[in-house]
């Protein structure tokens, strides 16, 4: 029985070994091959992901630089617009001041001309009054005191 049991153990052991080689040939190798392919595919995917991440980082850096340049240009445009507006404002102020000075000068000339016309008008009125007084003096012969009184009255009426 010992021998028979040993033979059964031997055949069982032999079957296990044969079964192991068959599994190794038809199951382990294809499964290992599939796992290696999957491993290389995962590694390739990770490499591509790293490359995509680096590319995204590069694009982000370029984008940030572009935004910084755009902000800088916007600040320059705003500063330029402010400078131009200030220059235009100063020009308008200068022009307004010149117009005001010109208006003052024109008004001063108008006042001077009006004063001269008033003086000429006054002189012609005074001359008319003097002629009227002279004609009254000629009409009536008076003494020296009366003449002085007439002249004083005339000057009072004339406002001189």
Half-sphere exposure of 99 (CA within 13 A, CB side): 6
Q: Rounded to whole angstroms, how far apart are CA atoms 106 and 42?
A: 94
Query: Is the torsion defined by CA of 100, 106, 109, 115 positive or negative?
Result: negative
Half-sphere exposure of 74 (CA within 13 A, CB side): 6
**Whole-number pLDDT of residue 1:** 47
Q: What are the pLDDT digits (tens) for 85-96?
A: 999 999 999 999
**Whole-number pLDDT of residue 40:** 95
Say if residue 21's pLDDT is above 80. yes
Between 144 and 18, the more confident residue is 18
**Whole-number pLDDT of residue 81:** 92
**Whole-number pLDDT of residue 122:** 79
């Amino acid at each position: 029985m010992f021998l028979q049991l040993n033979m059964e153990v031997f055949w069982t052991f032999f079957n296990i070994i044969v079964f192991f080689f068959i599994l190794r040939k038809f199951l382990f190798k294809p499964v290992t091959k599939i796992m290696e392919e999957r491993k290389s595919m995962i590694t390739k995917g990770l490499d591509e992901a790293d490359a995509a991440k680096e590319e995204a980082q590069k694009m982000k850096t370029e984008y940030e630089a572009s935004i910084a340049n755009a902000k800088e240009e916007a600040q320059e445009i705003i500063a330029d617009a402010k400078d131009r507006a200030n220059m235009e404002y100063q020009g308008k102020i200068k022009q307004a001041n010149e117009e005001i000075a010109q208006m003052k000068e024109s008004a001063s000339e108008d006042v001077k001309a009006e004063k001269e016309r008033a003086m000429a008008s006054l002189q012609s009125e005074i001359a008319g009054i003097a002629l009227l007084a002279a004609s009254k003096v000629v009409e009536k012969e008076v003494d020296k005191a009366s003449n002085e009184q007439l002249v004083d009255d005339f000057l009072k009426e004339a406002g001189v």
